[in-house]
Structure 1
Amino acid sequence: MWDRVVGTQPDPPSWLALVTGAIAVAVVLYRPTWRPLRTVVTIAHEGGHAMVALLMGRRLSGIRLHSDTSGVTVSVGKPTGLGMVFTAMAGYITPSILGAGGAALLAGAHITMVLWVALVLLALMFIAIRNWFGALVLLVTAGVILAISWLASARIQAAFAYLLVWFLLVSGVRPVLELQQMRSRGRAPWSDADQLADLTRIPGAFWVAFFGLVSAAALGIGAGSLLT
């Protein structure tokens, strides 16, 4: 099993990256599919908050995922300073960074590793989950990835891994656009961007632009890795 996880797999057909990329774009742009799958982005978003909070020496109190695709991560520590700034900063950029990291692994033919890294991250997040819906979402997501990595053929595993990575890359951009739309209508007074504005005295619009720049850069870098 260890050799399988850390080893490399045969390169998939050259068309697979293009097809899965097109599917990911369609899924993200089409509202009926985006609505339920946005929860995957929320998992990465809240996981990013939690991971950085721990790295900054904060104590993680818990994570909640909600049926409206929102989520919240609570950590305990100094309410100001770099630790809190980096914790608040992490959410919107984590899906894109994970996607870029997954693209780098796929470029190195580590298809199985992509799936098992996802499983490990989900397992770590499960320890911190604090509501039943969040626990159910993590179990279902992990169950799908585990079943594909354990039971599916190499071709199916490759297609799923590419689709997952493309989805993270593409879906990292849309929540940033949605955030700015909500802020412009006064519907997101406690958003990550506005919390960062309070912490740093830098306008929230700057932080939205920062989120968008990181997401777009990760998409470009990840797409280059997947398509070359």
Structure 2
Amino acid sequence: MDSTTATELWDRVVGSQPAPDLWLVILTAAIALGAVVPWNVWRITRNAVTIAHEGGHALVALLSGRRLDGIRLHSDTSGLTVSRGRPTGLGMILTAAAGYTAPSLLGLAGAGLLAAGHITALLWGAAVLLAAMLVMIRNAYGMLTVVLTGAAFVLVSWLAGPQVQAAFAYGVVWFLLLGGVRPPFELQRKRRRGGAADSDADQLARLTSVPAAAWLLLFHVVTLCSLAAGARWLLGV
């Protein structure tokens, strides 16, 4: 790649692109909602939320000074991130709290990028994050899902036209914002039935002596507020 091509590529990534028509923004929201609400669809699309969930655990673990041992993603849409460090303290608390909030916060960050017109930057940034996550995946199913997800971002950002890129980017962000809301409600339902005794909320309760219900409330507040703020940015209202 010569310097001219590299410069053009860099300008394309960091530059801004025109916002799509409002009808396209609303259409992508409707498609994302259709990928979240029906159970038969959600049981498949939830894998993408699990990637963001476990990625949130991993990123915060590294930022808080913990040593990341690996990430596993399973076909039942569950996941596991293993890190080493102090079993208590702020770093462990932040790591445990990051999972359920990560998809929505990523969606909110993505909405901010799209509102600023950085569609290509979002696509390339997501591909880079997925590539970094792939290094820490420790099972075959996890590698397959991350590779396929990353490949979708690369192909769209490299080969698709501006309209398709915009539709894909807006669809992904809407999905993270909407999909991030559902898992805390699912966890709440499981805990009401006596399940999920080792959930993130219960681990946080043991780490902090703050009831698991309070942590679950925090998850709800973060995800719903992220959806509200992100929707306003995406719709330009």
Question: Secondary structure at the residue paired with 1:79?
Answer: coil
| AA matched with 2:67 | R
CA distance in 2, matches of 1:100, 1:111: 14
Q: For 1:34-53, what aligned pairs fall within 5 Å after superposition?
A: 34-53=42-61
Runs of at least 4 residues off by over 4 Å: none
Among 80, 84, 87, the alignment partner of 1:72 is 80
Q: Do structure 1's residue 7 and structure 2's residue 15 form an aligned pair?
A: yes
Q: Do structure 1's residue 88 and structure 2's residue 110 form an aligned pair?
A: no
Deviation at 1:153, TM superposition (A): 1.1
| AA matched with 1:188 | A
CA distance in 1, matches of 2:122, 2:178: 17
Deviation at 1:22, TM superposition (A): 1.5
So what's the TM-score if we normalise by structure 2? 0.95
Deviations 1:85-107 (A, max 9, x none): 00000000000000000000000
Where does structure 2 lack aligned partners over 5 or more consecutive residues? 1-8
Deviation at 1:13, TM superposition (A): 1.1
Q: Which residue of 1 aligns with 2:233?
A: 225
Deviation at 1:187, TM superposition (A): 1.5
Question: Secondary structure at the residue paired with 1:168?
Answer: helix
Q: For 1:59-138, what aligned pairs fall within 5 Å after superposition?
A: 59-138=67-146
| AA matched with 1:103 | A
Deviation at 1:23, TM superposition (A): 1.4
Q: Which residue of 2 aligns with 1:212?
A: 220
Q: For 1:167-206, what aligned pairs fall within 5 Å after superposition?
A: 167-206=175-214
Q: For 1:141-156, what aligned pairs fall within 5 Å after superposition?
A: 141-156=149-164
So what's the TM-score if we normalise by structure 1? 0.99
CA distance in 2, matches of 1:82, 1:39: 28
CA distance in 1, matches of 2:103, 2:58: 13
Where does structure 1 lack aligned partners over 5 or more consecutive residues? none
CA distance in 2, matches of 1:210, 1:22: 27
Question: Secondary structure at the residue paired with 1:63?
Answer: strand
